[in-house]
């Protein structure tokens, strides 16, 4: 049994982790709507899993082409810049790699095409755990509006995890390409109003901040901005945490 790399706030392992004898692999996939979303939502756990020996692959659904307040910005240059920023941020966290699905920012639709692409990535990588946006949360903690791309990404990911990636009659062309079906064991949703898991990332919080600093097109890291980030992820006990809605699938 491989270590899960996951502990709760009391230091107890929250999962037995991948069972190598049953074919599980210590792999996690983080599926995000835009460049930087994976680092905001799951940067700490990405670093924590990587340190524990997991392979972490990041999937970015859209190209980030509308992520600017400058109306006259060159969008092709912005896309190229955001790709580099995400790649650099992922290296900071220790992720294995990043893949981009290249849908247009702000125009992502929940449909079979999106599910097909995410399902294929799951069947290729065979992750034990998948992390993504909670598609049910439109208003988060009465403070944030969840971007429509986040909701589309989250819902398509949930449906790809179960039942689509598992069932051979969904996208049988994948099997014709030599892929196999795959059953994800655990699903973690960030940006949720229904968290049931709080993970201590204090030892990895600086890596999360350093990863966010790579997204220079998105964040101006003034002292005020950094303090805002510090407060956002600090709990009442002074620990830095990431909260998720966790779903464990039966074998």
Among 130, 162, 159, CA closest to 57: 130
How far apart CA 209 and CA 231 sit, in angstroms, is 12
The verdict on residue 232 lying in a domain is yes
Is the CA virtual torsion 171, 181, 83, 212 positive or negative?
A: positive
- Express each pLDDT in 149-189 by its tens digit: 999 999 999 999 999 999 999 999 999 999 999 999 999 99
- Quote the pLDDT of residue 51: 98
The verdict on residue 6 lying in a domain is no
Question: Tell me, what CATH number does 179's domain have?
Answer: 3.40.50.10320
Q: What is the dihedral of CA 46, 50, 52, 54, to 10 degrees?
A: 100
Tokens of 128: 């034990």
Q: What is the mean pLDDT of residues 115-144?
A: 97
Higher pLDDT, 138 or 19: 138
- Express each pLDDT in 26-43 by its tens digit: 999 999 999 999 999 999
Q: If DSSP states are collapsed to H, E and C, what string results for 5-18?
A: CCECCCCCECCCCC
At residue 236, the 3 state secondary structure works out as coil
Alpha helix segments (H runs only) across the chain: 37-51, 75-93, 112-125, 148-161, 173-176, 205-213, 223-232
- Express each pLDDT in 65-96 by its tens digit: 998 778 888 999 999 999 999 999 999 999 99
Are 149 and 106 a contacting pair, CB within 8 Å?
Answer: yes
Q: Which long-range contacts (CB under 8 A, 24 or more apart) does 80-88 make?
A: 81/217, 82/34, 82/35, 82/36, 82/215, 82/217, 82/218, 83/35, 85/35, 85/36, 85/214, 85/215, 85/216, 85/217, 85/218, 86/35, 86/36, 86/38, 86/58, 86/60, 86/214, 86/215, 88/214
- Quote the pLDDT of residue 31: 99
The verdict on residue 204 lying in a domain is yes
The verdict on residue 61 lying in a domain is yes
Residue 212 CA: distances (Å) to CA of 26, 126, 149: 25, 27, 20
The verdict on residue 10 lying in a domain is no
Number of domains the chain contains: 1
Strand-strand pairing, 97-103 and 55-62: parallel
The verdict on residue 49 lying in a domain is yes
Indicate the average pLDDT of the chain. Answer: 92
Residue range(s) defining the domain that contains residue 197: 20-248
- Quote the pLDDT of residue 12: 54
CB atoms within 10 A of CB 72: 5
- Quote the pLDDT of residue 229: 79
Q: CA neighbours within 13 Å on the CB side: how many for 155? A: 17
The verdict on residue 14 lying in a domain is no
Among 39, 35, 37, CA closest to 82: 35
């Amino acid at each position: 049994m491989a270590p899960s790399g996951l502990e709760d706030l009391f230091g107890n392992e929250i999962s037995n982790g991948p069972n190598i004898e049953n074919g599980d692999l210590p792999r996690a996939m983080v599926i995000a709507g835009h460049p930087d979303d994976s680092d905001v939502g799951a940067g700490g756990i990405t670093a924590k899993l990587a340190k524990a020996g997991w392979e972490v692959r990041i999937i970015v659904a859209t190209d980030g082409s509308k992520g600017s307040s400058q109306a006259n910005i060159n969008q092709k240059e912005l896309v190229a810049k955001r790709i580099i920023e995400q790649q650099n941020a992922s290296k900071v966290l220790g992720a294995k790699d990043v893949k981009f699905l290249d849908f247009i920012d702000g125009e992502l639709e929940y449909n079979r095409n999106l599910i097909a692409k995410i399902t294929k990535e799951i069947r290729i990588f065979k992750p034990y755990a998948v992390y993504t946006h909670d598609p049910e949360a439109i208003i988060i903690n009465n403070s944030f509006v969840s971007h429509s791309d986040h909701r589309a990404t989250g819902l398509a990911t949930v449906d790809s995890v179960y039942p689509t990636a598992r069932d051979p009659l969904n996208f049988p062309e994948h099997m014709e390409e030599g892929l196999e079906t795959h059953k994800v064991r655990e699903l973690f949703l960030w940006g949720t109003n229904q968290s049931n898991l709080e993970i201590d990332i204090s030892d990895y919080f600086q890596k999360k901040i350093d990863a966010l600093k790579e997204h220079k097109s998105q964040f101006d890291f003034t002292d005020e901005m950094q303090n805002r980030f510090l407060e956002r992820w600090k709990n009442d006990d002074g620990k830095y945490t990431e909260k998720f809605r966790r779903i464990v699938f039966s074998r």
